[in-house]
Amino acid sequence: MRSPATRSPKSSADPLDGGSFAKPPIPNFFYFPENTFSPRYSSNFFTFSMDGFEFEPDDEKCFLAFCQPSVHAVYKIKVKNGRDTRIVRARFREILALAAEVESSPATLAGPTLAGAQPLAPPKTILPNIEDDFVLKRSELLGDYLDKMFRWASSRQGFPQDHPIAYFLKLERY
């Protein structure tokens, strides 16, 4: 003779009983170079490309008693995050500040040590240089630098949503 089947009481986590399931952890962001990226990837994958530059005016600057209007270059970074595409605009100094934040972020420091793997930024200049050839070359160097930095940061099992790179590139999940 078989015993009647017993049922356990419903768990409070059962959504049919007014409870809710715990949310799964949010996956980290991962970088793919542009030539291997697909818009079919989910929103925790991203790529970028340098999309040119523009000059924007600064306040008037004075140097050795000579005053003149001045401009600075703003680099345009095209970011693809899942199916979303956006342009992030950044000055050279903002990219250098990002590099410093990435180096000291808890997510970076918690990862395995990759001695000497942190890429080096293009060199700064003493005086501003707004010649088109110089800014175009610097844009190419920044593209290579960001590619290496994103690969380096992603090599540590990606990086979380509150990582400096995610903020800088305005990465979002849907």
What is the per-residue pLDDT across 56-102, written as a single tens digit (0 to 9) for each? Answer: 988 766 666 677 668 889 999 999 998 899 999 999 999 999 988 88
Q: Which pLDDT score, from 0 to 100, does residue 24 have? A: 56
Q: Which pLDDT score, from 0 to 100, does residue 127 have? A: 78
Q: Residue 115: which pLDDT band, with cuts at 50, 70 and 90?
A: very low
Q: Are 63 and 78 in contact (CB under 8 A)?
A: no
Instruction: Say what the pTM is.
Output: 0.76
Q: Which pLDDT score, from 0 to 100, does residue 152 have? A: 82
**Whether pLDDT at 54 is above 60:** yes
* Rounded Cα distance, 174 and 172, in Å: 7
Tokens 């160097």 correspond to what residue? Answer: 141
Exposure string for 68-83, b = 16+ CB within 10 A, e = fewer: eeeeebbbebebbbbe
Q: What is the mean pLDDT of the chain?
A: 80
Mean pLDDT value of segment 167-171: 92
Q: Which pLDDT score, from 0 to 100, does residue 125 have? A: 85
Q: Residue 117: which pLDDT band, with cuts at 50, 70 and 90?
A: low
CATH placement of domain 28-169: 3.30.1520.10
- Bridge partners, 46 (sequence order): 31, 81
Domain segments of the chain as ranges: 28-169
